Each structure stands twice: as structure tokens, then as C-alpha cells.
Amino acid sequence: MLLDLSFYFLGIYNKSVISILWHPTKSTNIYSMWIRDGWQALISNSIGALLGGAIFIILSRYRYNLQLYGFLILAMLFVVTGVTLLTVSNGRYFAVIIVLYGWCRLFFNLGPNASVFIIPAEVFPTQYRCTCLGISAAAGKVGSIIGQLVTARWNDSTAAWLGKVVLGLTACNILGAVLTKFWVPNPCNIDGESRTLEDLSRGKKKAQRNGNRRVGKEIASRGRGPFHRLKTQEKSVRLRY
């Protein structure tokens, strides 16, 4: 829900946002207007989204970290974008806004927008997976509806309005990072390999202990050092989780 609230508010479906970014001139020719809107959406939305999705496929083994740090990077980008909208959007440097907007789209698809499709299918216990995954998807749509309602109810089609909303949506990304850090289990082990569904169903803390124990045994069996050094190794493993 937190992701889709900001994702769909700034998404391709929100034509008023695109209009604020590009300052389009009015046209009576419907065909030319559609072509213009299509190119504007392609530049500001699709290029960053496609590039981010392609990079995510390559780095998908790190999907938990991509979700966690993706939320934090998006929060920083939202602050920069919001402040820029409030200061330079009406001048000749409005192209800066479009570049920042493209970066937001890139980190959406490189980070949480891609991972929330994958992680929920892994972390819920088998007995409740379909139900909980459906609830998770429905929560996302609730967030998208809220974003559209905000646009319809309080939109005055100015850069100042958009800047204030973007700054407000920063809180959604920060809260998303907090929830990921403390409640979402990592579906991969320290080697980047997917953990079994049985292992995931035991919970976050138990999986962490199992990972520490397994790494300790591997270090001892490989003869990499005396056993009294395992405490340091376990601390390193916890940090990596």
C-alpha cells in the first residue's frame, strides 16, 4: 500500500502530473496531442522504468536489500524532487525535474516496485500463502486508489502543489523501509541463494540463527581459523542479514 500510493500517484496513469512536468501547450488536434503525451510519458516514465526493471532482473538475488535501500533512495529523491518543484520548475531549468522524475521511476522498478511482486510469494507460510498474497495485492490497489483520490480532490495543477505532495509522500518511503527492515524476512541466505519455503516459515530470527550456525560449521570444516573466532563471524553474518 505504501509503495503503490506514491508509485501510481506519480505513474503514467496520472496525466495531470505529466502536464505539470512538461508545461504542454494547448492543442486542438487530438492526434498531435496524443503523440505529444505519448512521447512525454515515454521519456519521463518508461525509460527509467524499463532500465530499472532490467537491472533488477540481474540483481534479483539481492531483492531484499534492493527493497530496503530502494525505499531509502526513493525517500531522498522525493525530497530533492519536491524541493526542486517548489523552486525552479517555473524557470528555464524545468528539465531538471524531468531528469529527477526519471530517476524516481528507475529506482521504483529497480527496488520495491519489483520486489513486492516476488517477496510476498516467498515469505508467507504455505498454508496461508494464497490468502495473504491476495491481501497484499489488494492493499497495493487501495494505495493506488488513495493516490488518485488525492489528485482528483486537491489538485490545482501547479508545480507548488505537486512539490508539496511529493514531499509528503517521502514519509511513505521511509515507513516502507522501516517495515521492510523490522518485519519482512530476507528470502535469500548470505550467499544470495533462495531459502526454502520451510526455512522461511520459521520466522526471521530463527532463520538468522540457523544461518549463523551453518556459516560457523563451514568455517570450522574448512579450517579457516580457531573456533573461538566464530563469534566475530556470526556478528558479521547478522549485519549482512
pLDDT bin (cut points 50, 70, 90) of residue 92 is low
For the chain, what are the domain ranges? 2-183, 202-240
What is the per-residue pLDDT for 79?
Answer: 95
Considering the entire predicted model, what is its pTM?
0.78
Query: What are the pLDDT digits (tens) for 125-182?
Result: 888 889 999 999 999 999 988 877 877 777 677 778 888 888 999 999 999 999 999 9
Architecture per CATH, 2-183 = Up-down Bundle (1.20)
- The model's pLDDT over 26-70, given as tens digits with 9 standing for 90+, comes to 666 788 877 877 787 788 888 888 999 999 999 998 999 999 999
Indicate whether 101 pLDDT > 90: no
Per-residue 3-state assignment (H helix, E strand, C coil) for the chain: CHHHHHHHHCCCCCHHHHHHHHCCCCCCCHHHHHHHHHHHHHHHHHHHHHHHHHHHHHCHHHHHHHHHHHHHHHHHHHHHHHHHHHHCCCCCCCHHHHHHHHHHHHHHHHCHHHHHHHCHHHHCCHHHHHHHHHHHHHHHHHHHHHHHHHHHHHCCCCHHHHHHHHHHHHHHHHHHHHHHHHHCCCCECCCCCECCHHHHCCCHHHHHHHHHHHHHHHHHHHCCCCHHHHHHHHHHHHHHC
Q: How confident is the model at residue 230 (pLDDT cuts 50, 70, 90)?
A: very low
- Residue % of the chain over a pLDDT of 90: 29
pLDDT at 186: 87
Does residue 233 carry a pLDDT above 60?
no
Does the pLDDT at position 11 exceed 90? Answer: no
pLDDT on residue 173: 94
In this predicted structure, which of 3-7, 11-15, 74-78, 187-191 has the lowest mean pLDDT? 11-15
